[in-house]
Structure 1
Amino acid sequence: MTHHSPEIRVEDITWSAGGTRILDRVSCTAPARRVTGLIGPNGSGKTSLLSTIARLERPDSGRVLIGDVPATAMHRREFARTVALVEQHSATELDLTVEQIVELGAIPHRGGWARPAALGTGELVTDCLATAGITGLRHRLWQSLSGGEKQKTQLARAFAQRPCVLLLDEPTNHLDVSASLELLELIRARGLTTVAAMHDLNLAAMYCDHLVVLRDGRVVTEGPTESVLTAELLADVYGLDALVQPHPRTGRPMVVLCGAGEGADALVRG
């Protein structure tokens, strides 16, 4: 379904919580079949923007378009077939196996909302486990998994939705470097319209085609990664003293920290 993956347009979104404006007239675009990174300091609105796109939060004003269709106009099942969200913290108290969790992703494509135990396995689950590289974990219990294994399981569950759009909130949070690279390679290879909130600027530089920079609930700038990620931007938005140089192998931007600027607490890994 990758060739059907649509562009996402966020148009003038404002959202408040507890009397505080969290998103302030946010407009941005996630190009079709590309990886868009949402970057910015803690509290800049990255997770809130993702939640709005995912319809977990209803904005006070503005709209989100999936292709040319307003997200709010889509039936819940249709939306679940189109958009998959992998949240930063996924927990379950149920004693589910990896296979059963991945099966949950297939629910929007089934006739009814059956219990996990009632769902068949099928080729879809097998394919998603293989794609995520966790076939060997099929019968393992969720509680026994490492952080990286849990993230891959959630990604396989998202793939089972057969989405056109993939949303990820800090997908590499708590993962080591190797697991982070492996996960992001997996996401890029899928070729879906992807929006990921990210802290690690070098991982964003390596894997994102497009960046949206947020600060205090507003969009500072957006565009191709090579154009957006500059030393001037890092000084302005993060207070970092840093160089941005072409990577010696890939030519993509690479962030080199030079010292502890005002935003040293943000650093490259948040």
Structure 2
Amino acid sequence: MSISRKELIRYLDQRLSPERFRDYAPNGLQVEGAEQISRVVTGVTASQALLDEAVAWGADTVLVHHGYFWKGENPCITGMKQRRLKTLLQHDINLIGYHLPLDAHPEIGNNAMLAALLDIEVTDGLEAGNPLSIGVVGEFDEALSLNDLGTRIAKALGREPVLIKGGDHLIKTIGLCTGGAQDYIDKAIELGLDAYLSGEISERTVHSARENGVHYIAAGHHATERYGAKALGEELAREYGLEVRFVDIDNPV
């Protein structure tokens, strides 16, 4: 089965509503390749390793969370950027990327998928009053300790999280925002949540957690954002009968 590139982008834009977000990179088609699409590789980041996997499999499209052309980056097509673009253009491969829209989607977004994986019931957005809140607030069925939550995360994600103890309390309520959203701990503090989980951690995050009585969990930028692109690809396979393969390029960060 195959569909036109135009039809695929129309479907993705309708599903993810990128026009609603002020993002750091363009969402949608970033590099134009084949007109007809039948074989799609999904992944977190359009790294050279992911592109090489796509070429080896004969993919005509790469669909990722982290694409190219970020605000503030050097616009010159040299070095790593030249090699990546050359690979796509030489092999007529489309590059499609969705950043914040794929974080925020309430069904197949990174935050929603990670919450479901960890048995967190989403109750609200982390940004109170914002219908486009990127992060979410949720609850566990039963309160659990920080160490127990760490064990659950390690089992689900296949890597040990960094646990910063913010007190002796159990965790019933939690804020969650995947990727590099460690500074959203301030929002968790404002909401009086028991804990906050993101992908990365900064030196200042440790002090914020300890001094404000909020447990902090850094579970890995890559590890927390594997699920949106994968779910979106699986949806395309069901809807259009496309061949879709999720490729997880190992990343310890």
Q: Tell me the TM-score normalised to structure 1 length.
A: 0.25
Greater RCO, 1 or 2 (C-alpha within 8 Å, sep 6+): 1
Q: Tell me the TM-score normalised to structure 2 length.
A: 0.26
